[in-house]
């Protein structure tokens, strides 16, 4: 056995609710391990009852001793902690809410290994969820490289699972601000169009009615200019490139979007997609209270709005 492994010894108390071994442990260790994690540990022989290997559904009783061997996880191979400034909007024991600038990649990938948000987070904070692997520490959801705005980071796996479940149920409310090409016809609207990988370019997404990946985006016009419109956008689902593809599909591609808009950005003001995740509202994973955070519109998008008057 590796000497750095962590060993936990737990005893079933007289007042404990008895039942299945895996369920009892899942309740006791909810902050660190899911029920599926515990089941896997039992099946691997890393959890035993009174010195014996048992099945996950084994019935426990008061006085029983449980020994758990938690194998030390290897350090993240290749992940380098980097002292990159982070704009922190909020932080407590469970979450960090950051305002990601445009140009910063969220996690290491081809071409970006040492200069991402995850590199910065691993330098700033020792405790981050690792459900998505060592290269995506703390990352529950993401933004495209050239999209700015709010991201919620999980400090532990229980928090991560809670937030991921809220995203899955579409109960987290996100508001984006964007500038699109053209004068949008209707003051408000809903785009309900499924998305899938573009069959001719795997780096792009496209609307495909043969796809089962439902994608829904609501929008509201804040102001119209001569050939541009300022919108608030509320994605109801979280597909890759969703807002960018949906607005282009509607005929109003996002200003400066080099992938889905053939027109270039406004020279000297903005050369990236004018898309900013301005607000996020969700149930705090620990307190269950509704919390809301806001990140001010960045200078480049503000400069376009000011120029247009």
pLDDT for 97-124, tens place per residue?
Answer: 999 999 999 998 877 888 999 999 999 9
pLDDT single digits (tens) 191-217:
999 999 888 887 899 998 887 789 999
Specify the pTM. Answer: 0.77
Whether residue 100 is found in the same domain as residue 210? no
> Is 300 a member of any domain?
yes
Distance CA 263, CA 253 (A): 9
Whether residue 161 is found in the same domain as residue 194? no
Whether residue 57 is found in the same domain as residue 89? no
Residue 16: other Cβ atoms inside 10 A: 16
**Structural domains in the chain (count):** 3
The enclosing domain of 14 has a CATH number of: 3.10.290.10
> Is 25 a member of any domain?
yes
pLDDT at 96: 98
Residue 131 pLDDT exceeds 70: yes
Whether residue 155 is found in the same domain as residue 290? no
Residue 1 pLDDT exceeds 60: no
Given a contact cutoff of 8 angstroms between Cβ atoms, the answer to whether 18 and 49 are in contact is no
> Is 304 a member of any domain?
yes
169, 201, 221 — which closes off a domain?
169
Whether residue 201 is found in the same domain as residue 279? yes
Domain ranges, residue 33: 6-70
Band the pLDDT of 29: cuts 50, 70, 90: confident
Torsion over CA: 172, 140, 115, 203 (sign): negative
Given a contact cutoff of 8 angstroms between Cβ atoms, the answer to whether 263 and 203 are in contact is no
Whether residue 140 is found in the same domain as residue 183? no
Residue ranges with strand state E in the chain: 6-11, 47-49, 65-70, 88-91, 95-100, 148-154, 173-181, 188-192, 195-198, 201-207, 216-224, 228-235, 275-283, 290-294
The catalytically annotated residue of 64, 130, 144, 156 is 144
pLDDT, mean of residues 127-150: 94
The enclosing domain of 115 has a CATH number of: 3.30.2350.10
Q: What share of the chain is helix, strand, coil (3-state, %, to 5)?
A: 20, 30, 50
Whether residue 277 is found in the same domain as residue 217? yes
> Is 1 a member of any domain?
no
Residue 233 pLDDT exceeds 50: yes
Whether residue 143 is found in the same domain as residue 211? no
> Is 52 a member of any domain?
yes
Whether residue 207 is found in the same domain as residue 268? yes
Whether 144 is a known active-site residue: answer yes
Residue 4 pLDDT exceeds 80: no
Residue 78 pLDDT exceeds 50: yes
133, 149, 169 — which closes off a domain?
169
137, 169, 201 — which closes off a domain?
169
């Amino acid at each position: 056995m590796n000497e750095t492994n962590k060993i936990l010894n737990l005893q079933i108390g007289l007042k404990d609710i008895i039942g299945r071994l895996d369920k009892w442990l899942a309740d006791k260790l909810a902050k660190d391990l899911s029920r599926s994690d515990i089941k896997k540990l039992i099946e691997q022989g890393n959890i035993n009852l009174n010195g014996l290997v048992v099945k996950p559904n084994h019935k426990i009783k008061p006085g029983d001793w449980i020994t758990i061997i938690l194998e030390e996880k290897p350090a993240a191979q290749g992940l380098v902690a980097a002292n990159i400034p982070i704009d922190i909007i909020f932080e407590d024991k469970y979450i960090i809410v950051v305002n990601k600038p445009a140009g910063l990649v969220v996690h290491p990938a081809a071409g970006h290994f040492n200069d991402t948000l995850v590199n910065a987070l691993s330098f700033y904070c020792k405790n981050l969820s690792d459900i998505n692997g060592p290269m995506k520490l703390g990352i529950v959801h993401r933004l495209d490289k050239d999209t700015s705005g709010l991201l919620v980071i999980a400090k532990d796996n229980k928090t991560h699972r809670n937030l991921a479940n809220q995203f899955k149920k579409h109960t987290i409310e996100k508001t984006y601000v964007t500038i699109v090409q053209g004068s949008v016809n209707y003051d408000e609207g809903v785009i309900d169009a499924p998305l899938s990988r573009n069959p001719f370019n795997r780096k792009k997404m496209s609307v495909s009615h043969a796809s089962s990946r439902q994608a829904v985006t609501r929008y509201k016009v804040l102001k119209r200019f001569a050939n541009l419109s300022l919108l608030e956008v509320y994605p109801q689902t979280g597909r890759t490139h969703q807002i960018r593809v949906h607005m282009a599909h509607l005929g109003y591609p996002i200003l400066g979007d080099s992938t889905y808009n053939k027109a270039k950005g406004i020279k000297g003001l903005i050369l990236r997609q004018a898309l900013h995740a301005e607000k996020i509202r969700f149930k705090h994973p620990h307190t269950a209270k509704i919390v809301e955070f806001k990140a001010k519109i960045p200078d480049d998008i503000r400069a376009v709005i000011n120029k247009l008057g």
